[in-house]
Amino acid sequence: MKDGEIIGLGLESSCDETSAAIVVEGKKILSNMINSQIELHSDYSGVVPEIASRAHLENINGLIASALEEAGITFSDLDYVAATNRPGLIGSLLIALQSAKAISFTLGIPLIAINHLEAHLYAPFLEGRDPEYPFIGLLISGGNTALYRVEGPGEMKLIGKTVDDAVGEGFDKISKFLGLGYPGGPVIEKIARQAVKKRVFFPKILTDPDDRRFSYSGIKTAVINHIKANPGDDITEIVYSFQERALELLSRRLFNAAREEGIKKMVIAGGVAANGRLRELLDSEKNKDEEIIIPSPLLCTDNAAMIAGMGYRYYKKGVFDPLSSDVTAKV
């Protein structure tokens, strides 16, 4: 199937999804196999690192085989192998990277170590929705909440981040307190849509218009304290008010940054980008000359297609990594 096309294998194991994918020319997804660990961690209302790394180890080889089979190719067809090496859980990151090293060494093909956050912002390219550089990237998940000015592959400037909890972490912690399950984002969104009065009674977060920071620890505490003080209150109204404030901060920070930077294109990525209410809010707030690009829900969550796709950009630039490459918990 070669015909001069560049074929890459991507591997992802930074947190609680194990994934292997085959991508052609950095855009065409031939396979994107994902094994979720939600059931393994649900009893703990959060990811347990030791459980996560063991599950990655048990699943990675089978997922690689399945990815190759679904794509209709063999190892000999691969031109490069890309794997997440930052940021994430150290024990989890090692599984994908070590597997990629073994494949790189055995086949004699380039190894490309990928920044997981940058790969999330690449996801729209896999769906033919290529944002022009520069663009503002908003990365929102259970582990990250940050704003970037993206000039091109490997050219990301951090322009705002959370000072405490990530937005997805806030959803998870409130869901845990209420006994709603893990992950918290989807269940809170579902319950919030059942609210009738739709009153927003929690205060806005970080109201200084010149501030680009995010913070979710305070509102998380405010919600928990409200529930303790008002045990008979309607839970649908409480989570509605929380979600509105949590998402409003994301929208406000995104548009303020884009307009201050003079940039019309914005990419939102990460698991929280799958939130339907956030999409509604962004659409209602954007100007006619502004464009919001959000990947499909499958590509918002952790997956290896985005790793292989981002790897292609580095492959074309001739930027490869040595077999001595290591993992790191932070960028």
Instruction: Give the CA distances from residue 193 to residues 77, 219, 236, 241, in Å, rounded to whole numbers and listed in that order.
Output: 48, 20, 8, 11
Q: Topology of domain 7-123+301-317, per CATH?
A: Nucleotidyltransferase; domain 5 (3.30.420)
Domain boundaries, the chain: 7-123+301-317, 133-294
φ, ψ of residue 38 in degrees (nearest 5)? -55, -45
Quick one: pLDDT at residue 2?
61
Separation in Å, CA 131 to CA 128, 152, 298:
9, 10, 19
Summarize pLDDT for 19-72 with one digit per residue, the tens: 999 999 999 999 999 999 988 888 887 899 999 999 999 999 999 999 999 999
Q: What is the CATH number of domain 133-294?
A: 3.30.420.40
What pLDDT does residue 45 have?
A: 77
Helix (H, G, I), strand (E, B) or coil at 305: helix
The pair of structure tokens assigned to 108 is: 């004699």
Tens of pLDDT, residues 195-248: 999 999 999 999 998 999 999 999 999 999 999 999 999 999 999 999 999 999
What value does the mean pLDDT take over residues 79-91? 97
- Are residues 34 and 18 in contact, defined by beta-carbon separation less than 8 angstroms? yes
Q: What is the reported pLDDT for 4? A: 86
- 132-184 pLDDT, tens digit each: 999 999 999 999 999 999 999 989 999 999 999 999 999 999 999 999 989 99
Share of the chain above pLDDT 70, in %: 99
